[in-house]
Amino acid sequence: MSNVIKFQAPFERLKSYEVSPDISLRKAIITQAIIDATNTSNLREAKKLEMEAKAWIFGGSEYFQELCIEAGIEPSFVIKLAKKIIKLHKSQTKSPKNQQYYRKSKDHSDKSNDISKKLEIII
């Protein structure tokens, strides 16, 4: 199982949906921050990226707020979505038993599809 949540080709979708490279770049930065924030690895560099991403998203960063607005996304929506994605990914990676359950579970598939659909609003 991966140490960060995987989304099906999020950056490729950005290229096909956006006409403005500036908006695509902003959305890619937000998407990457959400991905980094889902880290479950104990490796020092991964933990550092995770903490930086979480501080940026949840810490009231003015730059985060501006980037979301420039990308046409409500910052509070990104924060709410990031919390859901982090919670989902952590629940999938807590134990080997959970990993087996989530691989087979229809409920997990439904949750992942729901999160992916919400992420598509960003990308």
Backbone φ/ψ region at 93: left (φ over 0), alpha (ψ -120 to 50), beta: alpha
Does residue 79 form part of some domain? yes
CA atoms within 13 A on the CB side of 100: 2
pLDDT at 88 (0 to 100): 83
Does residue 51 form part of some domain? yes
Q: Above 80 in pLDDT, residue 56?
A: yes
Does residue 114 form part of some domain? yes
* pTM assigned to the model: 0.70
Does residue 3 form part of some domain? no
Quick one: tokens of 73? 């996304």
Boundaries of domain holding 71? 10-122
Does residue 5 form part of some domain? no
Query: CA-CA distance, 121 to 123, in Å (whole number)?
Result: 6
Does residue 2 form part of some domain? no
DSSP letter (8 states) at residue 43:
-
- Total domains in the chain come to 1
Distance of CA 58 to the CA centre of its chain: 13
Tell me the pLDDT tens digit for each residue of 74-116: 999 999 999 988 888 888 776 555 445 445 444 545 555 565 6
Does residue 100 form part of some domain? yes
